[in-house]
Structure 1
């Protein structure tokens, strides 16, 4: 072999898409891809299925404007009004004031609902009964009231977990504080509805319903035409509501055609009142602010607050000094030192100062008595008693005075805290005061502007006479405007493809497994062959014996043939089989490659060098107390450790008991001698080594071998294992390395595979390819 150790794994910076890898990802995840497609499109279907149809009714109205106010010299005002009249009429149509005029219609106040098996539908003008409310003052607004017909003349009304009553058609029935009369609808035909209930809408709810579903928009500015649209889940109700709006609008317009500007003037008047109220609020605020803060000049108040804080700080300092001096004075009194410090004398009451002076005098007298009389005499003790009493009295008075000073100090501290809080609020108050002043000025200017506009509209109010015509009455739509089924289904289909695209892309980027021979070609190491995956179950015998016509067996024969190109000069071969990690099929390949070689009339022995991990081969029965480990320590001869297989010329030597130093055992001469003796006896010596990515035992065995067969497993071995192989070859200067890709998925109908015995009804036994 030459130049096989010249490893190159360079690749272009931007690799093209690996379609083999993409096929594997699609094959392994087709269930998830299909599930994503099904789920998203099912969601789209459910949205369509459980969304009520919405229908829209349309009508068109033309607005004619006659202007007779040019002679007043206000042509510009009128022309501007003519241009903007459409916008004004749209605001009127959509206003709560106008829509409130149609709330008294009982057809809209009461909704009869049929409870379906999927959706609830409103039975507009087709319910089982018509309802009339006799008393508007009740508490059952916006609450479902369930209706059930008992007989042809009677019915039952009930509320969930509430009141229940029965009554007859045409007679007043009471449900709590609700009084109503039901008239039977003889044209009603029951369908597959589960139940029925009706709802009495409050004015607010009904008004919100009208505003939410009503749309008014200009159709042609030059022709002064409007389009009014209304949406509802019931097409007949949508048309009925729109007809009511059109008729109410015409009636409203006829009443107001000579009072259009009056309405604007009234609006301006109301707006002026609002602004007046707001300005009054600001004026009240300014007045309250002045009374509360005792000033209208915040800068001057701020200055006064700072001066007050400084005064309080001075007083606190003086009070703290007095307390300290009083403490010193108390300590002096305890030590019979009755001298009053000058710094505190002025702060002491006059009586207390006199007492301390008297103490000083008595103390001097006592000192004089010591010179003339004994301390145990009555005179001396009397003087001492007098001093003690006065001293106690003085200390008590001084302590009380000190307590008063401390209270005063606390009061001053609280005063300072209050002033500081007030000082901290001044900036916010100043900001708020300034902001309100600005708003007040703005409202003042706005007020003057509105006053001017009011005067102008009062001049022009007699010059405009609007007239309205219905160009197209309210239509009924048989086709719902929503949900848009095609759009939703299209979005579902597109989203499923987009999500699947990103899902496959993420899987593609996250997949770092070897899944094709082309990836091994990046390493300039001969590829001995590939072993496809199989559907057969493993048996107790050799796989190549149990399934001789399988694709796996044929692949192993091809590998046996390829081994002929690696003939050693001696004609004998030591084949080391290794991999990066366990589970890549190393032991399976070793066992069945040995079987294939034995079937070609060669003497073959398989040696398990993985002394760290005990293996269970269903093909071989062996004594676990002896094996390679005991041979290398010369406890047994290798001949005593041979185990027979199903083939007479195929033998097996187990790893033996686990030693504490498997790596050191392979470094000794005993291992070389052991391999040499096997070579002299067998045509092929197959070494099943430990994974070289985990321990170094396998590398020592690979150095002793004529051929090193490095196993990768498709969709299991990581791409970084190729770098590991490159590192091993570069470091150990190995030139007899060849690779093999195990468990390669069969893509489609590969030529020739139909000849082999592959039963598709048998599941894949993946543990076949694990060490």
Structure 2
């Protein structure tokens, strides 16, 4: 049973909350309509934004190439611990870098923008503009000032002599000819006609151009650029850019890929270029040494008059061929190691080490490759940073550490080669002892010949490496393979029409909802029957009195069919149920009408209640029991001069019947005004003659309505309440504060007021009929109401 009751209460509460807003449905319809119209115009005037996408694959580098090999060896040794990063993330960072976007914007001259203005519409042109502006020289400081003063925007008009340009913020017009230099203050420019311009059918507007700060344009497009890895297990990258000009966005993405490949090729060729320089230097030295050896050999043979030494030492050469080859190899390796050590001592952290010279030992070659990779990374970052950058300092430490490792490896290699060479020399001495019979001349000649062969072998070896290096320098494949060139989706990404219209509809509904909700939230006054029932459940409500316009009649007449008259009839009917325990009283029922504070409509309620009863044939009298601030005289101006209740209580010689005045409103209605305003109202109301007066009135009238003072301000009403059969407590809608409803509750519990019930006065038309809204309260009372009047009610 309790669950059903709770469910019904919750259902009623939800309905009440909805009714607070549904009664203002025209506001919601109008607000939503206006919002949708504004959203529609926004969609028509807004510039659509399109999404442009391109896809590339970052090629995996050859692990043996100079640019990428060697890092794994150092990682195994722990030298580069903490430096391991995802190479693909580095490439994404490079594509998103400001430097790459700056190169792209410079290549496309996007800091120069072209516009076409026609009436109130200005749109940006791209490619299809009638002229093209080229910048010969530019002063960045002057350009920044021009941007701040908005004098970097020029309108151009063609004439017979050439053209003239002007800015809105500058009175001076500049004239020039197409193809000739023109100074515009912050730059020297050349304006040429665009031979590829396609003129539209209607071309009545103006053309203009704007020169912007390169940094600002780069920042704009850098923020728009999105670079994302398609899958963690692949090197496929998507590049996207949102812009209102699809062709421009496509060119930016395509040019960005071109600039990326250019830089990758430059990085690849940097090591090869340094290697080529090193080989050329060594070839010059070896060539000089080889010339010296050959001259010595020639002079020796001429001096000794030798012709064919080979035939004389054929047996020895056959036996020592293996020794010679080994000695040549060891000597070559030792000299290469020494040359690399010399290069390391002379170079700094920005120099790359030569690669692929033929040094035996994969460890040393791997270490050299790792060292070059670190140097390349340092030089690349240093282009957009300084040596104080923590990353540069960290790389310097790693390069120095790697340089030390490479130096130690080369020193160990050279030491090992020297030991091997010494051993070979020892073996050579043994062989020389065996060929002591060979003339010293032969030994000398062989020594010269041996030096010549060593130099020739080294020279040929370097020539071969130079050709290999030149070949790798010539073959420069792009690092980024294009999967899809930049293309634009035909559907704009912004503004999205459905989302904008939906948002407009929601905002249009939220605005009146918020206003109504805020108004209800901040309202501390009683608005309707529901507020009264929630705050004071202990006290019944006998009636609701509707708000009456100032132009309307405030008093009920005979045969009155207005909503006001019907509301008082309903109130009287409800009061009969409250008087059911007083069936012994056939006449002389005393109704006390009071309120919390003044201005809540006590006198208005008293008189109309009396008129309703009088129209029903009852004998009724209204007693002005508010001795301090009488209001009954407002409805009978002449009665102000009459004696009344206060005079009767003071003067025992006065007769009550002489004080009663028949009203002009109804023959069954009489007034007994409050009379003169006394200095001591409370003492008078304690007088015994008050009870006697009411007793005499009971014998003469069916109903005695006591119009009393506000009970919260003075105690007068509490003195009269003991004589009342029923207490009507008037609450005025949109006037009485909800907090004041506690006063009648406390008064009832304290016994100061008895048989109390509420009359809700001045109820707004929108809030009137708490039950009527559900059951058709206004039935039969709105036939004469026009459609315009009905609409007005919703907007009141």
Same fold (TM over 0.5): yes
For residues 612 and 178 of structure 2, the distance between their equivalents in structure 1, rounded to whole angstroms, comes to 96
Structure 1 equivalent of residue 91 of structure 2: 89
Answering whether residue 572 of structure 2 is matched by residue 555 of structure 1, we say: no
Q: 2:490 — aligned with what?
A: 478
- 1:234 aligned to which of 245, 260, 276: 245
Match of 1:180 among 182, 189, 192: 189
Partner of 2:51: 56
Counterpart CA distance in 2 for 1:122 and 1:483 is: 18
Residues 94, 630 of structure 1: alpha-carbon distance in 2 compared, 3 angstrom cutoff? same
1:501 CA displacement: 7.0
Instruction: Summarize the Cα distance change of 1:239–1:700 in structure 2 as closer, same or farther, 3 Å threshold.
Output: same
The question of whether the paired residues in 1 share the 8 Å contact of 2:623 and 2:704 is answered with yes
- Shift in CA distance, 204/572, structure 1 to aligned 2, threshold 3 Å: closer
Report the CA distance shift for 1:737/1:179 in structure 2 as closer, same or farther (over 3 A): closer
Question: How far apart are residue 147 of structure 1 and its match?
Answer: 1.0
Q: In the aligned structure 2, how far is the partner of 1:580 from the partner of 1:209?
A: 67
Distance 1:669 1:220, change over 3 A: closer
Match of 1:605 in 2: 621
Whole-Å Cα distance in 2 between the matches of residues 660 and 668 of structure 1?
Answer: 15
CA–CA separation in structure 1 for the residues paired with 2:745 and 2:593: 16
The alpha-carbon distance between structure 1 residues 43 and 178, as it changes in their structure 2 partners (threshold 3 A), is same
Which range moves more in the overlay, 657-666 or 270-279?
270-279
Q: Offset of 1:179 from its aligned partner?
A: 3.8
3-state SS of 2:594 partner: strand
- Relative distance call for 1:259 and 1:99 in structure 2 (3 A) is farther
Stretches of structure 2 that go unaligned for 5 or more consecutive residues are 272-368, 410-467, 791-796
Match of 1:145 in 2: 153
**C-alpha distance in structure 2 between counterparts of 1:729 and 1:82, whole Å:** 84
Deviations 1:155-199 (A, max 9, x none): 431223324223454555443464434344552338699754312
1:449 aligns with 2:398: yes
Other-structure match for 1:591:
607
Q: Structure 1's 256 and 123: CA in aligned 2 closer, same or farther, altered over 3 A?
A: same
Structure 1 residue 624: Cα displacement = 1.9
Q: 1:667 aligns with which of 686, 695, 703?
A: 686
1:224 pairs, out of 231, 235, 244, with 235
Any idea what the Cα deviations from partners look like across 1:186-233, whole Å, max 9, x if unmatched? Answer: 523386997543122344334334433333333345442222223322
Take 1:549 and 1:161, find their aligned partners in 2: how far apart are those partners? Answer: 73
Change (3 A) 1:57 1:541: closer
Aligned match for 1:628, one of 645, 650, 667? 645
CA 648–165 in structure 1, closer or farther in 2 if over 3 Å, else same: same
For the residues of structure 2 that align with 1:695 and 1:582, how far apart are their CA atoms?
11
Q: Tell me the equivalent position of 1:755.
A: 780
**More displaced, 166-175 or 495-504?**
495-504
What is the correspondence of 1:501-540 to structure 2 with a 5 Å cutoff? Answer: 513=526, 515-516=528-529, 520=533, 527=540, 529-533=542-546, 539=552
Q: Counterpart of 1:67?
A: 62
* Deviations, residues 123-147 of structure 1 (Å, cap 9, x unaligned): 1112342223344458446543321
* Gap change, CA 1:18 and 1:65, over 3 Å in 2: closer
Q: Which residue of structure 2 lines up, in the alignment, with residue 367 of structure 1?
A: none
Please give the secondary structure, in 2, of the residue aligned with 1:257. Answer: helix
**1:694 counterpart = 2:716:** no
Secondary structure of the residue that 1:605 maps to in structure 2? strand
2: CA distance, partners of 1:510 / 1:518: 14
Is the 2:708–2:717 Cα contact (8 Å) retained in structure 1? yes
User: 2:115·2:125 contact (CA, 8 Å) conserved in 1?
Assistant: yes
**SS across alignment from 1:574:** strand
Matches within 5 A, 1:362-377: none
SS state of the match for residue 542, structure 1?
Answer: coil
TM-score in terms of structure 1 length: 0.64
Stretches of structure 1 lacking an aligned partner (at least 5 in a row): 1-10, 280-438, 765-771
Deviation at 1:597, TM superposition (A): 1.9
How many Å separate the matches in 2 of 1:23 and 1:278? 67
After TM superposition, give the deviation of residue 475 of structure 1 in Å: 0.8
**For residues 618 and 446 of structure 1, do their structure 2 counterparts lie closer, same or farther at Cα, with a shift above 3 Å needed?**
same
Q: Match of 2:53, SS? A: strand
Q: Evaluate the alpha carbon distance shift between residue 586 and residue 194 of structure 1 in structure 2; reply closer, same or farther with a 3 A threshold.
A: farther
In structure 2, the CA distance between the partners of 1:144 and 1:176, relative to structure 1 (3 Å rule), is closer
CA offset at residue 555 of structure 1?
3.2
Pick aligned residue for 1:200 from 211, 219, 223: 211
Contact 1:21-1:508 at 8 Å conserved across structures: no
Could you tell me whether the CA contact under 8 Å between 1:536 and 1:759 is conserved in 2? no
Give the equivalent residue in structure 1 for 2:167. 159
Contact 1:542 1:619 in 2 (8 A): no
Distance in 1 separating the partners of 2:257 and 2:400:
34
Inter-partner Cα distance in structure 1 for 2:627 and 2:31:
48
SS in 1 for 2:729: strand
Q: Relative contact order: is structure 1 or structure 2 higher (C-alpha 8 Å, sep ≥ 6)?
A: 1
| CA 247–447 in structure 1, closer or farther in 2 if over 3 Å, else same | closer
- Check whether the contact 1:58–1:475 (CA below 8 A) recurs between aligned residues: yes
After superposition, the Cα gap between the structure-2 partners of 1:150 and 1:24, relative to the gap in structure 1 and judged at 3 Å, is: same
Which residue number in structure 2 is paired with residue 296 of structure 1?
none
Query: What is the number of equivalent residue pairs in this alignment?
Result: 590
Q: Say which is worse superposed, 493-502 or 470-479, in terms of deviation.
A: 493-502
In 2, Cα distance between equivalents of 1:28 and 1:664: 50
Give a deviation string over 1:721-761, Cα, whole Å, max 9, x none. Answer: 54322322333365443443445503547446322356535
2: CA distance between counterparts of 1:192 and 1:576? Answer: 86
37-46 vs 552-561, greater mean Cα deviation? 37-46
Deviation digits for residues 381-420 of structure 1 (CA, Å, limit 9, x no counterpart): xxxxxxxxxxxxxxxxxxxxxxxxxxxxxxxxxxxxxxxx
Secondary structure in structure 2 of the residue aligned to 1:753: coil
Does the CA contact (< 8 Å) of 1:607 and 1:654 recur in 2?
yes
Q: Given the superposition, is the C-alpha separation of residues 686 and 763 from structure 1 closer, same or farther in structure 2, using an over 3 Å criterion?
A: farther
Say if 1:113 and 1:120, in contact at 8 Å, map to a contact too. Answer: yes
Residue 215 of structure 2: SS of its match in structure 1?
helix
Q: Paired residue for 1:423? A: none
Answer yes or no: is the 8 Å Cα contact 1:114–1:193 preserved in 2: no
User: How far, CA to CA, are the matches of 2:486 and 2:116 in structure 1?
Assistant: 26
The offset of 1:573, in angstroms, is 1.9
| 1:345 corresponding residue in structure 2 | none
CA, structure 1 residues 451+492, in 2 after alignment: closer, same or farther (shift >3 Å)? farther
1:216–1:270 distance in 2 versus 1, CA, 3 Å: closer
Match of 1:215 in 2: 226
Q: How do residues 60-139 of structure 1 correspond to structure 2 at under 5 angstroms?
A: 60-67=55-62, 69=64, 84-105=86-107, 107-115=109-117, 120-136=122-138, 139=142
Structure-2 separation of matches of 1:521 and 1:470: 73
What is the Cα deviation at residue 666 of structure 1? Answer: 1.1
Whether contact under 8 Å (1:37, 1:500) holds in the other structure is no
Tell me what 1:247 maps to: 258
